[in-house]
Amino acid sequence: MWLDRLYTVGIDVGSNSIKTVLMEHDDNGSEAKLLFSDLSKIRKRETKLVAEQSFEQVLSRASLTPDDIAYVATTGEGDMVDFRRGHFYSMTAHSRGAIHLNSAVRSVVDGGAMHGKAFAIDERSKVLTYKMTSQCASGSGQFLENIARYLGIPLEDVGALSKESTSPEMVSGICAVLAETDVINMVSRGISASDILKGIHLSMARRLVGLLRGVSAEGEVMITGGLANDTGFVAAIQEIADSENMNVRFNTHELSIFAGAIGAAIWGAFRHKKLAQSELQHQ
Amino acid sequence: MTVQEILRQCEDLYNDIDFAYVRDWKTRHGAGAIGYMPVYVPRELIRAAGMLPVGIMGAGDLLEIIKGDAYFQSYICHIPRSTIEMGVSNRLDCLDGMLFPAICDVIRNLSGMWKLLFPGKYAKYVDFPQNFDAELGGTFYRHELRGLLADFARISGREISNDDINEAIVLYNENRRVIRELYALRVERPHLVPTYEMYLILRASNILDVAEHTALMRDYLTATLREERPVRDNIRIVLTGAFCEQPPLGLIRALENSGCNIVDDDWMLGARYMPDDIPVTADAIGALTDAYLTGTVATASKYEEDGNKGAYLISQVTRSGADGVIFAAPSFCDPALLERPMQQEALKREKIPYTSFKYSEDTGQYQVIREQTGTFADAIKLWGDA
Amino acid sequence: MECYVGIDLGSTTSKAIYMDAHANILGRGIINSRHNYTLACQIAQEEAENHSRFAILEQSIRENGTGQSIAATLMPVLRAKYKLAEHNAQLAELRRICMKDLDNWKDPMAASLYLEAVEHILHRMEQEAVDIYREDTAEKSDFFRDIATSQFMEFAQDQVRRHVEELSFERLVGIFDRAIIRVESVSFAKSFSAHIDFAYREVAAMPAFAPYRDQIHAAVKIADEREFNIVRIVGTGYGRQRLPFEKEQIRSEILCHGLGAHYMFPDTRTVLDIGGQDTKAIQVDGNGIVENFQMNDRCAAGCGRYLGYVADEMNMGVHELGPQAMQATKTIRINSTCTVFAGAEIRQRLSVGEKREDILAGLHRAIILRAMSLLARSGGISNEFTFTGGVAKNEAATNALRTLVRENYGEITVNISPDSIFTGACGAALFARN
Amino acid sequence: MSTTATESVQKEQSMLLQKDMIADHFRRLGRAKEEGKKVVYTFVPGNLNELILAFDMLPVHPEINALQSAMRKKSAGYIREAEKHGHSEDVCTYVKCDVGMLKSGNIGPTGEKLPEPDLLLLSYTGCFTFMKWFEILRKEYNDCATVMLHVPYQGDGAITEEARAYVVKQLREVLVPQLERISGRKLDHDRLEELLASSARAEEDLVSILESAKQKPSPIDAYFGGVYYIGPIFTAFRGRESCEEYYQVLRSEVEERIRMKSGPITPEGPMHNEQYRLVVEGPPNWTSFREFWKMFYDESAVVVASSYTKVGGIYDTGFRHDARQPFESLADYCLGCYTNLNLPSRIDLLEKYINEYEADGFLINSIKSCNSFSAGQLLILNELEKRTGKAGGFIESDLVDPRYFSAANIKNRLESYFQMVDAKRQNRHTPSSRERA
Ligand SMILES: Nc1ncnc2c1ncn2[C@@H]1O[C@H](COP(=O)(O)OP(=O)(O)O)[C@@H](O)[C@H]1O
Ligand SMILES: Nc1ncnc2c1ncn2[C@@H]1O[C@H](COP(=O)(O)OP(=O)(O)O)[C@@H](O)[C@H]1O
Ligand code: SF4
Ligand code: SF4
Ligand code: SF4
C-alpha cells in the first residue's frame, strides 16, 4: 500500500533511556521532518516494555497505528525491540542524525550514559573514523549522574552550577562507583558543588577531546546524546579543546539527545525505499 | 557426515580443555605428544618422531583464571595466563614437552617460566632466524632444527630418519592443500563457509592427528557444498592481527552477525605459515629450513627485510576480493599492535577501508566491538563506494 | 585503666578497638565514615569506649553475687534501651536539622507544604523507635543512617502517594540527604552518662529487674566513672594519612590486617580482606608478620561497593543480597568487569527472563573470582585461611569462597569471625601496645 | 662539615663531566650533517658502539631520547601524538615517545634538532619491540637503510657456540659491509681494537664502582644513582677516552666516600643513615624519577644492586670487551645483556645479588611498557622469596608514560613494604587471642 506520506520511527535504546522519534518524509526522501519525540527513562524497568510504551506514546500523539509506519528502525541496544524492521549501528545513526540537525558538522561526539564516542563523518554522514571509550564507566554520563546524586543535585541543575565555578577541583580517572567517597571527601574539605562539578566536567571533556583528537576532528562538531543537554559539559569541552588549540567548535541542538533516533528513522526511510524498489523489480 | 556433525566434533575438541583426545591418542599409539604455542613450529619433526603435535592456544573463555593471574600483571595479554592455569591444574600433563616459538617477549619469557614451574618437563624455546640468508640464518636454523630432532628422538626413544621426516612432510603437504581448497571456496562463496565454521574446523588442526584433520576438512568440503544456505547481505573482510591469542567463539559469531563475512584471516597461522608444498628431498631438514626462509607468509613476529610492510596484507585483500580489513588484535599484544599503524598506512595508500579493535580470549562483552564492526559494515553497505 | 587504641579508618566505615595491657579487647566501636575522617575516627573511638564501659558494666554485674543470675537476661535489655536512647537523640537532631533547612526555604508555600510532610514522617519515625529497639527484635544495621534511611523512604513514599500533585519524592529525600550527613557528624557517644541513665531507669522499672536495682546502679556507676588512660593510639586504613597522628602512630593497613588476623586466629597464614573500596590478599608468617600482599586498584569491581551498587540496582538492601543468592539453582556468568556496566548487564539479563537469584549468584562468584586472582598473586592460599572485612558477613560470598578455595587449594580451614570487620583496628591496637 | 663540602664538590665533578660529555655529543650530532658525519640510530642493549665509532659514525639511541623526554616532562605529549597516529595505548611507551618526538619535529634533549639517520642498526637483542620500532622508523625515514643483527636468546641459559657463530658471521658479513657502504670507508681494525681496549678499562672501573655497594654503608645507590653511572658506558661513549676518564673520576669519588663511610649522594642531599639495603629488578620510572627516588630517600633505603644497570651488558660476572677477539667479544656482549638471559638465569643473578650485597629485601618495579622485563616478574618474586627468605615487594609504573605512575599508590605499597622488611628483621612476637586465653 502506498501512502502519500511516508512515516518512519526511530528508536534509540540506550542504557539509561529510550529515545523514540516519529518522522515524516517526502516522496524522494530528501526531506525529513520530525513530528513527535519521546524520551523515557528506563529506571530499572524492563527495557523492552519501556520501548513499547515509548513507541505507542509517539504513535498515539500522531494518531497513527503501527500499520501506518513504513519502517521501524532501532539503534543502540536495539536487539531488545522485537517489532523493529531493521537495525542501524549507533554511529551510523548518530552521524545521520547529526547531519540532519546541522549539515555543516563533520565530527560528532556522542556522550551517552556508558560510552563516549567520537567520530569523523563526511557530508553524506558516512563514518570515516571513530574512537570509543573503553570498558570503564569513569567519565561517562552515568558517572556524572552518580556524582550529581551524591551531591544531591538534580541533573537539570548540574550545567548551570558547573558554569558558576571559579576554581574547578581537579579530578581524573576516578571510579564511577567509588567517586562517592571522593566527592564526600571534597565536600568535607569545603569545596563547593559547582567547583566539583566543573572539575568533573573538565575531566570528562578531556577524555572526549582525546577521542576527538584521535579522529582528527576539525571545524563544526555536533554533540549528540544526553550530555548535549548539560550546558556545563558543553562549556567545559569547548574550554578544553580551545586550551589544546584544537580548531573545533561544538554545536548542540535541542534535539541532540534524539540524534540517534532521528538518524535511525531517516535510514529507515532510505532502506524502505530501497526495499520497495527491489520488490518492484522482482515483480 | 553432515556439516552439523562435523561441527559438533570440532566444538567438542574446542571445548575440551582437558585434552581427552590427546590422552586417548597417546594410549592408542603408545607414543608421546609435544605441545607448542602459536604461531609456528615445525610440526613435521614431531610427527616424524611418531609423536602428536598439540597446538596450545590458551583456554579462551572456557576456564576461570584462578592461579594464572598470579604470574602475570594486568597489562600482559591473556593467553599465557590461561596456558599456565592449564599447566598448574595438571591439564597439560598429557604433554611430554612444550615448545615456545620466538614470536614475542611474553612467549619467550614463558619458556623460562615453564622450566621453573615444571622442572621435570621438556621445555624449549625455538628461536627463528630473523636473518633469511641461507648461509647465515639458514645455518643457524638448521642447527635449531637438528637440536629439536635430537630432543624428539630422545623423548620418543627412536631414531628419526630422513624418510620419517619426508613422510611427515607429505602428510602436512596434503593438509596444506585441503586448507588451500577451503580458503579458496570461502573466497568464492563465503556463505558456504561461514566464519564460525571455518574457524572451528581450522582450530581442530591444533589437536587432531594431521591425517584425521585432513579427512575432516575433506568431509566438510563435501558436506557444505550440499547445504542450502541463505546468502546474507554481508561485506567481505580480511581479518588480521589475531595470529596468537584467539578471540572467543562468541566474538567470532558476533563479527559475522554484525554483517561481516571473513574471507581471509591469520587465525591458526601455524597451519598455513608455509602455504606451499615442501619438497621431498634427501635433505629434509634443509627443505624445512628453506621453506622457513623463503616460503613463509608475513606476520608481525617476522622481520621484513625489504621493508615492504603491508604488501602481503594488500595481496590478501586483492586475492580475496575483500571490501576492507579488520585489525583484531589481542589487548597488550605488542607485535600485533605495533604492526598495526604500518599496515594501516599501507591500506590508506591503497584506499582500502579498515577498522580495528582489541579483544582478549575471555572478552565476555562484544557490544562495543559489534558496534564498531557494525558501523564499519554499515558504512560500506550504505554508501557502497567502499 | 591503661588502654591502647587501634583505629581503622576505612573507606566506608571507621572502626576502633580498645585493648588493655594484656592484649585483651575491651571494646569495639564502628561508625559510617562517609564524611569527615577525623570526626569519624573520634566517633568510632568514643563508640569503642562506650562499648568498653558496657563490658565493665557486665563484668561488675557478674562479679556481684546475685547479679550473676540476671546478667544474661539483663544485658540485652540494657543494651537495647541504651541504643534506644541514642537513637532518640539522633532523631531529635535529625528533626532539628530538617526544620532548620526548611526554615531557609525561599518559597514559603512550598516550605509549609514540605514542613507538614516532613513532620508526618518524623513523627512516625519517633513512634516506631521503641519497636526497633526491643531486645528480641531481629538483627538490624548498626547504623542510624541505614535505619533512618529506610524508614524515611518508606514514609516519604506514603506522603507522596497521598499528595501526588504537590510533593516531589526527590525533593523530600533531598531534605533528608542533607540532614543525615550532619546528624552523622555529631558525636553522641559522649553522652554515655545520660543514655545509660535512661537505660538504667527503664530496666529498673521492669519487674524482672527491679529487685536488683541497687546492684545494677552500682555497676552502672562503676562503668560510667571508669577513666580510660589512653597510652597510645595507632591508626590505619584507607584514610590513615588524614589522621592527626605522628608517623610512628600510623601503620599500613596491610600489616594491621595481618596482625589482627593472627591475633584472632593464630594459625592464620593467608588473609583475605574485602572491604568497601578495596580488597587485600595477605600472607603472614607464624607471628602474624606480613610476608607478601596484593591489593586491587581503585576500582569498585571486586569490592564491597560492587555489591552495594548491585543492591541499589536491584532495589535491595546489601544484607539481602547474600540470602537471595543462596536460593540460586545455577550461576549466571557476568561478563562485565566494570560495576556500572555490570549494572546494565543485570538489567539486560533480568529483561530476558533470567532469575534474580541466579544473577546474584553470578555476581557473588565474580567478586570472589577477583579475590581469588589477587590471592593467587599474593602467593596462593595456605592453611589457615581467614576472611575478613564487611563482605565476610555475606553468606553467598563466603560460600562461593569456600567452594573455590576447596576446588583449587584443597581442604583448608577457613576462618570467618563475626568481628572480622575489626581485624584492621585490632592489628592497629596491637601495634599500639607493642 | 668538611665531609659535606667535599661531597658536594665531588658530586659536581663526575656529574659535570657527564653533563659535558652529553652536551658535546649532541653538539656533534647537531653538526653531523654539515660535517658530513654519518649518523647511526641503534639500541642500548648489547650495542655495538665500538664498531660504530670505528667507522667514525655518530650513534643516536632512541631509548635515551625517550627517557630524556620523560625527564623533561615532554613524554606525555609525545605519546599522545603517537597514539593519534594509530599507535595503541597498550604498547611500549618508549616507541610511542620516540615516534611522537619524531612527529613533533625530532627535537632532541638539548633543544637541537636531531639529525636524521643514515642507517638504522637494528640490533635485535633481548626485546622483540626493537624490531617493530625500527620497522616503524624505517617507514618514517623514507625507507632509510636498515641493517638487522639477529641476536638469539639464551633460551637454555647459556650462550651456545652456534649462536655466537651466527652473530659473529652476521657482524662480519652483514654489518661491516653495510657500515662500510654507508660510511664510505673500510673498517679500521686497529682503531676497533683500540676502542675495545679502552672499553675494557672503563668496564673495570665500572664494576669496581657497582661492587662498592657491598660496603656498609653503601657509598652508592645502585639503581637511582646507578642509572647515571651506566650512562656513558651504555651509550655513545664506550670506547672513548672521555668515558675512561669519567669512570676514573667516579671511582675515586666513590672510594673517597667509602673511606669517609658516607652514603650515596641523592638529589635531596647525601644519605646518612642507611636503613634498608635493597636489590631492585626492573627499569625505573623516568617521568617522576626524583619523586620516586625521594620515596626511598625518605625511608633511608639504599639500592645496593639492580638488574637495570645491566641492561646494556653485564660486566660484573666477568665479561670484558676484548681487543684480541673483537667480533667474538662484541657477539658475547650482545648475547649477554640482561634481558637476553632466560628467566631462570635472571633469578639466579638476582639471588646472587641479594646474598652478596647483603640486602634486606628486594623490590620489583614492574613496567607496563616492557614485556621483555615484565612478563614473568611475579614468578621471579615468588622464587626469590622462596630462595632467600627475604621480603619481596612489587610495584607497578611505567618508563615514560606519566599516566601509569600513581605516586599515592606506589607510596602506599612502599610504605607497607618497608614496614614489612622491618617486621621481618625484628621478627617481633605478638600474642594471639589463644595464647592469652
Ligand atoms: N537534562 C540533562 N542535563 C544534564 N545531563 C543530562 C541531561 N539529560 C541527560 N544527561 C546526561 O546524558 C546521559 C544519558 O545520555 P543518553 O544519550 O540518553 O545515554 P544512553 O543513550 O546511553 O542511554 C546521562 O547519563 C546524563 O549524564
Ligand atoms: N550485613 C552485611 N551483609 C552483607 N554485606 C555487608 C554487610 N555489612 C557490610 N557489608 C559489605 O561490606 C562492605 C564494607 O566493608 P568494610 O570492611 O567495612 O569496608 P572498609 O573497611 O573499606 O570501610 C560493604 O560495601 C558491604 O558490601
Ligand atoms: S573504576 Fe569504577 S567505573 Fe571504572 S571499571 Fe572499575 S568499577 Fe567501573
Ligand atoms: S598475544 Fe601477542 S603478546 Fe601475547 S603471547 Fe601472543 S604474540 Fe605475544
Ligand atoms: S619493550 Fe622494554 S626493552 Fe623493549 S623497547 Fe620497550 S622498554 Fe625497551
Mean pLDDT, all residues of chain B: 95
Q: Are residues A85 and A123 in the same domain?
A: no
Alpha carbon of A136 to ligand 3 centroid (Å):
5
- Please tell me the least confidently modeled range out of B10-14, C212-216, D191-195: C212-216
Residue D4 lies in a domain: no
Q: Give the number of domains in chain A.
A: 2
pLDDT in tens, D148-162: 999 999 999 999 999
* Ligand 3 lined by C296 (C-beta under 6 Å): no
Atom of ligand 5 nearest to the CA of D93: 6
Give the range of the structural domain holding residue D257, as residue numbers without chain letter: 19-426
Residue nearest to atom 6 of ligand 3 (CA): C299
- Higher pLDDT: C378 or C134? It is C378
Identify which of C312, C321, C394, C399 to mutate to test ligand 2's pocket (most ligand atoms within 8 A of the CB): C394
Question: Contact A128/A119 with Cβ under 8 angstroms?
Answer: yes
pLDDT score at D9: 43
Domain ranges of chain B: 12-164
pLDDT score at D7: 47
Q: Around Cβ C123, how many Cβ atoms within 10 Å? A: 12
- Higher pLDDT: C181 or C36? It is C181
Mean pLDDT, all residues of chain D: 93
C-alpha cell read off for B174: 596434503
pLDDT score at C270: 96
Question: Contact C383/C412 with Cβ under 8 angstroms?
Answer: yes
Q: Which ligand is nearest to the CA of C236?
A: 2
Alpha carbon of C324 to ligand 2 centroid (Å):
17
pLDDT score at C315: 77
Q: Are residues A246 and A272 in the same domain?
A: no
Q: How far apart are alpha carbons B87 and B69 in whole angstroms? A: 13
Q: How far apart are alpha carbons C243 and B176 in whole angstroms? A: 69
- Higher pLDDT: B23 or D415? It is B23
Whether residue C384 is preceded by a cis peptide bond, meaning omega within 30 degrees of 0, is: yes
Yes or no, beta carbons of A178 and C11 under 8 Å apart: yes
C-alpha cell read off for D220: 652508592
pLDDT score at D112: 85
Residues of A in contact with B376 (CB under 8 A): 127
pLDDT score at C134: 78
Q: Are residues A58 and A163 in the same domain?
A: no
- Is any Cβ of chain C less than 8 angstroms from the Cβ of A47? yes
**Pairing relation of β-strands A107-111 and A86-87?**
unpaired
**What ipTM, to 2 d.p.?**
0.84
pLDDT score at A281: 64
- Is any Cβ of chain C less than 8 angstroms from the Cβ of A176? yes
Question: Contact C70/C209 with Cβ under 8 angstroms?
Answer: yes
Residue D103 has pLDDT above 70, yes or no: yes
Residue D8 lies in a domain: no
Single-letter amino acid code for the residue at C122? L
Q: Give the number of domains in chain D.
A: 1
pLDDT score at D3: 40
The domain made up of B12-164 is a member of CATH 3.40.50.11890: yes
Residue D98 lies in a domain: yes
**Beta bridge pairs of residue A277:** none
Residue C229 lies in a domain: no
Phi-psi region of D228 (alpha: psi -120 to 50; beta: other; left: phi over 0): alpha
Q: Are residues A166 and A212 in the same domain?
A: yes
Residue C223 lies in a domain: no
Question: Contact C310/C342 with Cβ under 8 angstroms?
Answer: yes
Residue D435 lies in a domain: no
Of A80, A152, A181, nearest to C351 by CB-CB distance is A80
Q: Around Cβ D212, how many Cβ atoms within 10 Å? A: 19
* Ligand 2 lined by C13 (C-beta under 6 Å): yes
pLDDT score at C184: 79
DSSP state of D113: B
Angle (CA) D422-D426-D429 rounded to 5° is: 115
pLDDT in tens, B166-210: 999 999 999 999 999 999 999 999 999 999 999 999 999 999 999
pLDDT score at D11: 54
Q: How confident is the model at residue C138 (pLDDT cuts 50, 70, 90)?
A: low
pLDDT score at C12: 77
What is the rounded average pLDDT of the residues C160-188?
A: 80
Residue C283 lies in a domain: yes
Residue C347 lies in a domain: yes
Single-letter amino acid code for the residue at B343? Q
Residue D50 has pLDDT above 60, yes or no: yes
Q: How far apart are alpha carbons C396 and C398 in whole angstroms? A: 6
Residue D285's contacts (CB-CB under 8 Å, 6 or more residues apart) are D292, D365, D367, D397, D398, D399, D405
Q: How far apart are alpha carbons B134 and C250 in whole angstroms? A: 66
Whether residue B39 is preceded by a cis peptide bond, meaning omega within 30 degrees of 0, is: yes
Chain D: residue nearest A214 by CA?
A: D84
Residue A67's contacts (CB-CB under 8 Å, 6 or more residues apart) are none
Exposure b/e, C350-361, CB count within 10 A at least 16 = b: bbeeebbbbbbb
Tell me how close the Cα of D399 comes to any Cα of chain C, in angstroms: 19
> How confident is chain A (283 residues) per 10-residue block, as mean pLDDT?
76 91 81 91 80 93 92 86 88 95 95 90 91 86 87 86 93 83 79 93 92 90 94 96 94 95 94 79 58
Residues of A in contact with D409 (CB under 8 A): none
Yes or no, beta carbons of C377 and B65 under 8 Å apart: no
- Chains A, C: CB pairs < 8 Å: 69
C347: domain CATH number? 3.30.420.40
Residue D374 lies in a domain: yes
pLDDT score at A81: 84
Residue C94 lies in a domain: no
* Ligand 3 lined by C340 (C-beta under 6 Å): yes
What is the rounded average pLDDT of the residues B216-232?
A: 92
Residue D353 has pLDDT above 90, yes or no: yes
Alpha carbon of D313 to ligand 5 centroid (Å):
15
Phi, psi of D125 (to 5 degrees): -125, 115
Yes or no, beta carbons of C255 and D416 under 8 Å apart: yes
Interface test with chain B among D79, D84, D87, D91, by most B beta carbons within 10 Å = D91
Q: Are residues A67 and A204 in the same domain?
A: no
Task: Tell me which residues of chain C have a C-beta less than 8 Å from any C-beta of chain B.
Answer: 333-336, 341, 345, 369, 372-374, 376-380, 404, 408
Q: Which ligand is nearest to the CA of B72?
A: 4
Residue D4 has pLDDT above 60, yes or no: no
Question: Contact B266/B329 with Cβ under 8 angstroms?
Answer: no
Residue D5 lies in a domain: no
Give the range of the structural domain holding residue A193, as residue numbers without chain letter: 103-252
pLDDT score at D237: 97
Yes or no, beta carbons of D416 and C24 under 8 Å apart: no
Q: How far apart are alpha carbons B285 and B282 in whole angstroms? A: 9
Residue B366 has pLDDT above 60, yes or no: yes
Chain D: residue nearest B332 by CA?
A: D90
Yes or no, beta carbons of D416 and C23 under 8 Å apart: no
pLDDT score at D136: 96
Percentage of chain B exceeding pLDDT 90? 89
Residue B120's contacts (CB-CB under 8 Å, 6 or more residues apart) are none
**Pairing relation of β-strands B33-36 and B52-55?**
parallel
Give the range of the structural domain holding residue C349, as residue numbers without chain letter: 267-420
Residues of C in contact with D431 (CB under 8 A): 23, 263
pLDDT in tens, C268-302: 999 999 988 889 999 998 888 888 888 887 788 98
Single-letter amino acid code for the residue at D255? E
Q: Are residues A135 and A41 in the same domain?
A: no
- Is any Cβ of chain D less than 8 angstroms from the Cβ of B335? yes
What is the rounded average pLDDT of the residues C252-261?
A: 90
- Higher pLDDT: D10 or D130? It is D130
Residue D433 lies in a domain: no
Yes or no, beta carbons of C287 and D419 under 8 Å apart: no
- Is any Cβ of chain D less than 8 angstroms from the Cβ of A182? no
Question: Contact B271/B175 with Cβ under 8 angstroms?
Answer: yes
Identify which of B36, B104, B361 to mutate to test ligand 4's pocket (most ligand atoms within 8 A of the CB): B104
Residues of D in contact with C251 (CB under 8 A): 419
- Is any Cβ of chain A less than 8 angstroms from the Cβ of B375? yes
pLDDT in tens, C320-361: 899 999 999 999 999 888 999 998 888 888 878 899 999 999
A162: domain CATH number? 3.30.420.40
pLDDT score at A43: 72
Tell me how close the Cα of D84 comes to any Cα of chain A, in angstroms: 5
Residue A156's contacts (CB-CB under 8 Å, 6 or more residues apart) are none
Coil, strand, or helix at residue C131?
Answer: helix
Yes or no, beta carbons of C300 and A178 under 8 Å apart: yes
Residues of D in contact with B335 (CB under 8 A): 128, 132
Q: How far apart are alpha carbons C328 and C346 in whole angstroms? A: 15
pLDDT in tens, C27-44: 999 887 656 677 888 888
Q: Are residues A158 and A236 in the same domain?
A: yes
